Amino acid sequence: MKKFDKDFENISAMADGELREDQEAIYREKMQNSPAFKEKFNEYNKLKKTVESIPKLPEDHYFVSRLNEYIKKENKKTSGLRPFYKPAFGLVALTVVLMSFFKLSPEFMDDLFETQKGNIIDFYTKNLRPYFQEDELTKDDIFNFAFSQVLPIDGSGQNVISLDESGSGASIAIRQSSFGDSIMSLKEFTEKLDLDKTQQLKLNNVLKKYEDKIRGSILVNDNNTVAVNANLWNYNMALKAEILAIAAENETFAKVMPAGLMESMPAFASIDFADNEDSFVCINPDTVFVTSIRVNTHDPSYNIPVVNKVNILKNTQVKLAPSKQKYGGFHGKLGDSSKTKKFRVFVDTNFIKFDIPDFAFETKMPTLMELERIDSLVELSMKNFNFEMRNFPDGRGFSFDMKFDSLGLPGHDKMIEFKFDTTDGFNFDMNFPGKDSGKFKIVVPKNPDVYKNFKGLEGLDSLMIFKFNGKDTVFNFNMPFQNFDGEFKEFNEEMKKFREEMKKFREDFKPTKPKNKKDKKPVVI
């Protein structure tokens, strides 16, 4: 059958005149010998003629006119572009338009992003209100904050906000409290300065004024954001200055105040923080940033407590902790050149510490340098350190008086007591008296042979044990006691070192005993 098909196919082609001459000759011969082939050839020719004879459509005389109209219409519609190119042309045109737009308006995208950022910031900073409720901060807390720079943020005092200084400048930390956090007593301050009622009232007003500022500086909201005003550092310095200004009204205290500081005291009270009071470092589990926040203190919701505010801090620490160190961004007003600046933030599961960004900390403190001298005030006073050595007549013992100028405190003539006990080595106890403590006293050992083992006071510092003992602070020294003679010069030098150690007490007049003795552990100095 296939063979026949092939033959018939060739016969069909022959009817079309499409066979090569040699093939055609073959098939013409076959047709002569085969009526079937001949019949096929005739059949195909008839079919050809039948198809060829199909009448054509009547001529369309207006086809060209309609076609021209159609072409005009299509050209107008597509502007010479094939439909295929329309999407591509659209994309190209759109790209060109956008590029031109961004070229001419380069700030558009920045503005757009800033707007979006603004929306996010609005969410995070919505309904911020004071972390501390009214009356939650006591006068003691404020007074203590002035000098110890620590503010308890929970009832147990386990967590604090503290002002720190890092290599890069001022910083603020939210952390657990530590033994190093000294505690200042407003009561003792008042008593030692012997403030009269007017002065006490003045002091209370200062504390109240800064209580409001501190309350307004640490904000929190239900969106897990904690906002800390960068001015907290400034408030602290100004608060300290204003308290010292009241202290300076005490004549004795004033004597030891640096003259420049005394002159600049009024300036502290008149510092205007308003220009920069709205710069807040905002911390939440998602991000850390600085932005301007204006809190309406007259809003009825301003004093509504935030539930679980301590947990908010804790959760924030935990969620931010994996990054350990990150950079906060500044989200200022549009066009603010500082918006690209960043500041460092250190985070762990139990603390957050961030550098106060310079760009958010621009309040001018005209007496800042003088304020630093306050810190050296105690140091200056401590240098009025009298030391007089007296040998016992038989040359086998000694005694000395040590007198600390007590910074003009009432009863400054009171001595700090040292006690020797040489019955077993060289035991040296120094007793800082409480308010009613007595004079310096030395206990002379009855058996002078113990001095033979005295080897001097080398390593005194490293052997000194500092601990809190009852109401008073006691230093215990334990060291071998040999070759006592001729060692007093060295002892003198060691005492100078000791004076340096005493600078640790310059934190405003006198270290007080801790509120909770159990919390305090010995610290090796």
Partner 1 sequence: MNEKEINDGMQQAQNIFNLKDDFSLIKAFNEGEETAFNDLVNRHKEKVRNLIYLNLGSTSSIDDISQEVFLAVYRKLKQFRFQSQFTTWLYTITINKIRDHIRKQKIMSVFSAFSSDDTENVVEPGSFKENFDVNEMVRDAVAKLPRKLKEPLILRDFEGMSYQEISDATGIETGTVKSRIFRARESLKKMLQPWREELL
Distance of CA 111 to CAs 13, 51, 99, 149, 332, Å? 77, 74, 16, 40, 12
CA–CA separation, 496 and 116 (whole Å):
62
334's CB contacts (< 8 A; 6+ apart) are: 111, 114
Q: How far is the CB of 35 from partner 1 (least distance, A)?
A: 16
- The number of beta carbons lying within 10 Å of the beta carbon of residue 78 is 13
510's CB contacts (< 8 A; 6+ apart) are: 188, 192, 406, 409, 432
Please select the residue that binds partner 1; options are 59, 135, 251, 394, rule is CB under 8 A: 59
- Following DSSP, what letter does each residue of 340-356 receive, concatenated? G-EEEEEEETTEEEEEP
Please select the residue that binds partner 1; options are 47, 98, 201, 465, rule is CB under 8 A: 47
Residue placing its CB nearer to partner 1 in the complex, 74 or 299: 74
Residue 24 interacts with partner 1 (CB under 8 A)? no
Residue 8 interacts with partner 1 (CB under 8 A)? yes
Residue placing its CB nearer to partner 1 in the complex, 8 or 302: 8
CA–CA separation, 103 and 443 (whole Å):
88
CA–CA separation, 163 and 96 (whole Å):
54
Q: How far is the CB of 333 from partner 1 (least distance, A)?
A: 56
Q: How far is the CB of 86 from partner 1 (least distance, A)?
A: 14
**Residue keyed to tokens 């405190």:** 409
Please select the residue that binds partner 1; options are 66, 467, 471, 517, rule is CB under 8 A: 66
Q: How far is the CB of 108 from partner 1 (least distance, A)?
A: 39
CA–CA separation, 182 and 111 (whole Å):
48
Residue 64 interacts with partner 1 (CB under 8 A)? yes
Which of the ranges 52-60, 439-447, 484-492, 514-522 carries the binding residues for partner 1, by CB under 8 A?
Answer: 52-60
Residue 51 interacts with partner 1 (CB under 8 A)? yes
Residue 46 interacts with partner 1 (CB under 8 A)? yes
Tokens of 64: 């060209």
| Closest C-alpha to 445, from 494, 493, 383, 397 | 397
Distance of CA 509 to CAs 122, 218, 377, Å? 46, 29, 9
Please select the residue that binds partner 1; options are 22, 52, 388, 394, rule is CB under 8 A: 52
Q: How far is the CB of 1 from partner 1 (least distance, A)?
A: 12
Q: How far is the CB of 30 from partner 1 (least distance, A)?
A: 16
Q: How far is the CB of 27 from partner 1 (least distance, A)?
A: 13
Residue placing its CB nearer to partner 1 in the complex, 19 or 290: 19
Distance of CA 170 to CAs 81, 166, 234, 238, 357, Å? 66, 6, 10, 15, 8
Distance of CA 230 to CAs 310, 349, 358, Å? 20, 23, 9
Residue placing its CB nearer to partner 1 in the complex, 59 or 436: 59
Residue 333 interacts with partner 1 (CB under 8 A)? no
Please select the residue that binds partner 1; options are 21, 33, 55, 76, rule is CB under 8 A: 55
Quick check: 396 and 448 in contact, CB under 8 A?
yes
Q: How far is the CB of 22 from partner 1 (least distance, A)?
A: 16
| Total residues at interface with partner 1 (CB under 8 A) | 32
Per-residue x/- mask for partner 1, residues 73 to 92, rule CB under 8 A?
-x-------x----------
Q: How far is the CB of 32 from partner 1 (least distance, A)?
A: 21
Residue 54 interacts with partner 1 (CB under 8 A)? yes
Residue 435 interacts with partner 1 (CB under 8 A)? no
Quick check: 420 and 426 in contact, CB under 8 A?
yes
Contact positions toward partner 1, by CB under 8 A? 5, 8-9, 12-13, 16, 18, 43-44, 46-48, 50-57, 59-60, 63-68, 70-71, 74, 82
